[in-house]
Structure 1
Amino acid sequence: SQDLLRATFELGINYQFCPPRTPWFKPMVERSLRTLAEQFAHQLPGTSFANWFDRYGYDPLKESIVTLSELVHALHIWIIDIYSQTYHRGLKQTPYAVWQRAAEIVTPRTIDPERLRLVLSKQAERVLGHAGIELHGLRYNCKDLLPWRKQLGDRIKVQIRFDPDNLGSIFALHPQTKEAMPVPCLTPDYAEGLQLHQHKLIQASLRKEGLASADPLSLARAKVRMQEVVGQLLQSRKLADRKRAARAKGAHSSKVMTTGKLPPTISEDAELPPTDSWSPPSTLPVLPHDPEGDCHE
């Protein structure tokens, strides 16, 4: 996508495209995925085995006990404490030792998390007027945008950056200096932490009922109803239903990575989304130790 190409350019990354259905163009990537599957994913309860013989008499729905936050946590432990500290036949030493030696030659570069969020956001062009900026039916405005309009005109086109995983705020880029200005949504109780996919589901529900999609009360009530439907789908035995529910709920790895937690489930009696803090379960599955499979290729 254009956003990916722009992000790689701004981060100074040289990208290469592989032809479709040609895994031999990226053998190291394919081997890494195999190692991840065999040494980590297939060791967890609820995994879906690739071999039909391994799946015989095995129901992953009954065996699965790992939440998404636990999975991400366990993956970090495996990468840092297990894989990186295990002898690699191709490197002739551990990956951690190779990293340490390379870091002594060239200091690893880091990037500010807020800057990284700006770079990895999606980009669009919108009009900045007296009412602010409209994006996906939501209004964004702040007093810091007033000098822009005084300098460049009452209605000006600006480039914006937005995070599809959180519509609570956007970045507006100054047309001349390219300064990034954070601009909050005018309905923060609704938009903060809301994903674009969730917002589109809510907008579609409101249009179906003939309600105004910009009414804050209608938005809040539709958000609660969406969570109720999600709760019902999560109990379904059908994998397709549970996938739809997880997507509508906003359960994915980037949410865990940026917040350290998943969004809370709204109770059926609530009129507005709750604001109480929520913590993920602290229990983690114990990965079995296999001395014979310790070496990497």
Structure 2
Amino acid sequence: MGALHLMPGTTFSNAEELGDYDPKRHASLTLRELERYIALEVVGSCHQSIHSGLGRPPIAVWREDEGEIPLRLPQDRMRFWLTFLPEEERTLRPDGIHLFGLRYWSPALSADVGRSKRRLLVKYDPRDMSRVFVRRPSGNFVEARYADVTLPSVTLREAQTARRTLLEKGRREVDMRSIIRTAMAQRELVEVAAKKTAAARHAKARGSKSKVDDGGWGSLRGVDSSKPVPFVEDAN
């Protein structure tokens, strides 16, 4: 967490540490980029650095003992992953599962239509709403995709924002295609705006007499960025 608080756009640990710093003004990473940054921090920095308790890099201790300690891996990795996903309960309709204005279908659900009035558990990944996982009455999960498989993936936030936008326009009946099209248009608008903002900041920084904005903490203070830090990714 200490490393994350050095990133531009951090909200720090509390309001006192945040002070007058404006996270929105300095934020520059997308969620996907942030995930990759954290992964690189764990694998490329944390695991390779001396651990205060171990007195050695964690990766060295792991490699030394991995052959002697049996790994307790989940028997069903997919089910293990699903336990971490948020969930909703939905009724299986003749045309599939409806969730957040989107419709999903799988041929595996055909046999369950009309057989039970019980609502089914639906797991979803907010980062990728192109598919959900439905627990059938038998207890097994099946993957259900967009009923219209030609539509691109959107996040839950994009879908909800698009649906709200359409409803505010007076569209009482909002179809799935409209939601996705609106979400993609809004995504493009944000991406273009982000590029323009980044370009404007860059131009402003180039024209500034001061190379480092210490008052805004937009840079990593105390870090000599002129010296590259070697990072070797293990091919294995």
Which band: TM-score by shorter chain? 0.5 to 0.7
What TM-score, normalized by structure 2, do the two folds share? 0.62
The reply on whether 1:227 has 2:191 as its aligned counterpart is no
CA displacement 1:217-237 (0-9 Å, x = unmatched): 533442343124313542348
Which residue in the other structure is 1:270 paired with? none
The reply on whether 1:187 has 2:134 as its aligned counterpart is no
Percent identity between the two aligned chains: 21
The reply on whether 1:134 has 2:98 as its aligned counterpart is yes
Matched to 1:119, the amino acid is T
The reply on whether 1:103 has 2:66 as its aligned counterpart is yes
Shift of 1:107: 2.4
Shift of 1:96: 1.9
Shift of 1:127: 0.9
Which residue in the other structure is 1:93 paired with? 56
Shift of 1:201: 0.6
Shift of 1:102: 3.9
Matches within 5 A, 1:79-228: 79-111=42-74, 114-149=78-113, 152-153=115-116, 155-175=117-137, 177-190=138-151, 192-211=152-171, 213-228=173-188
8 A contact 1:203–1:213 mirrored in 2: no
8 A contact 2:120–2:135 mirrored in 1: yes
Matched to 2:160, the amino acid is K
Q: Which runs of 5+ in 1 are unaligned?
A: 1-32, 51-59, 238-284, 290-297
Shift of 1:140: 1.8
Residues matched between the structures, number: 192
Which residue in the other structure is 2:16 paired with? none
Matched to 1:99, the amino acid is W
Q: 2-side partners of 1:140 and 1:48: how far apart? A: 37
8 A contact 2:10–2:27 mirrored in 1: no
Q: Secondary structure at the match of 2:150?
A: helix
8 A contact 2:135–2:142 mirrored in 1: yes
Report 1 or 2 for greater relative contact order, CA contacts < 8 Å, sequence distance ≥ 6.
1
Matches within 5 A, 1:63-74: 73=36
8 A contact 2:87–2:121 mirrored in 1: yes
Give the 3 Å change call, closer, same or farther, for CA 48–127 of structure 1 in structure 2.
closer
Matched to 2:95, the amino acid is A
8 A contact 1:126–1:159 mirrored in 2: yes
8 A contact 1:173–1:180 mirrored in 2: yes
CA RMSD of aligned residues (A): 3.8
Matches within 5 A, 1:27-42: 33-34=1-2, 36=3, 42=6
Q: Which runs of 5+ in 2 are unaligned?
A: 13-22, 199-224, 230-236
Q: 1-side partners of 2:92 and 2:11: how far apart? A: 52
8 A contact 2:102–2:176 mirrored in 1: no
Q: 2-side partners of 1:72 and 1:159: how far apart? A: 28
8 A contact 2:104–2:145 mirrored in 1: yes
